[in-house]
Structure 1
Amino acid sequence: MKQQRLITSPASVRVGEPDPARRDALRRGACACLGAGLATVGVSPARADEPASQRPAPGDRLVLAAGDEPPRPLVASDVKPGAKPLQVFPFDAAAGVVRDGSRLNKVLLVKLDPAGLDDAARSRAADGVLAFSAVCTHQGCDVSEWNEAEKALLCFCHFSRFDPARLGQVVAGPASRGLPNLPLKLDGGLLTVASPFSTSPGAKAAG
């Protein structure tokens, strides 16, 4: 059997192959690097399956990232036209879980005149309110500001700007892809997630 042939004596280790102790050390180092890489985008391997770290799901409400206690689901009138975008997290009301276990779940809300939206954006808005990932697609910084002159979302790290009326497409700066959008609907007057992010949030379009 294979297990009986794996470990014999030092003389059985072939020339050019790492010894078992070195091989185990390399394997542990690779796992540590992988874990560190996942942590930089806000998802710890040990927490990826926890409810608070799972991506927004249809039916989730939206609550302020600042953290009301208890969480208060938002309505469309909470989002003011021309104001700084609201930073929010999805909220699984049935389970009582705010999905704030990953920064990739942070969402920006802006309110625009529905008449100024293209057809695709209008179909994903709720009473003029649009939702986008708050993580820049360039290098993962926070998109947090509103440029009123350009009607654009702004990342201060490298000044990428995104047009929410065109579903977050890049209008300036080094970002190579638009912000993922999160389709919304109104349910009982509450802002509600209609379907998942259009693409994976973060600096890389990974699953």
Structure 2
Amino acid sequence: MQLIGLTGGIASGKSTVARRLAERGAVAVDADQIAREVVEPGTPALAEIAQTFGDGVLNADGSLNRAALGAIVFSDESSRLRLNAITHPAVLRRSTERFEEARRANPDAVIVYDVPLLVETANAYPFDLIVVAHADAETRIRRLVELRGMAADEATRRIRSQASDEERLAVADVVIDTDGSLEHTLEQADALWERLTTA
């Protein structure tokens, strides 16, 4: 089994790389999906979030009101750190379960863990390789505005709330340049797959 950590800032093209590797045969595990699962109604993490941030972060049906929570944590660093202290350990546990399921199904599996906050989390995953999808901040802001309809100031705030490009690049074993065309990004993902499966 190989465990590949794939990270990149918001709107960096990381999900495009993850999809391509999955098309080639990798087992894709999505940290964002797991992060949603661990805060579903009835989970210990959601109960702790409500206790920490108040019932205003819950919808009427008891589910997490992501917009209300986001408004708190993206504007206040200490709140963001408190949220991370609740969710990151829960994500680590669930992710590790997924990796083990994939390993049991195929001991030779290449698992690609799509994890936006790899640098920001204190979780120590046993990665064999860390891949960073990298596009400059101006490109990512433009993508957030044009493709996701986000206001430019909100896009900038989201980018600044994450690790810096320098911090991400410092942990990279492989950098996939996603500033250019989609075809160029996919070519680099294909080359990475060849490296992973022919070594």
TM, length-normalised to structure 2: 0.22
Q: Which has the higher helix share?
A: 2
Q: Which has the higher contact order (CA 8 A, sep 6+)?
A: 2
Higher strand share: 1
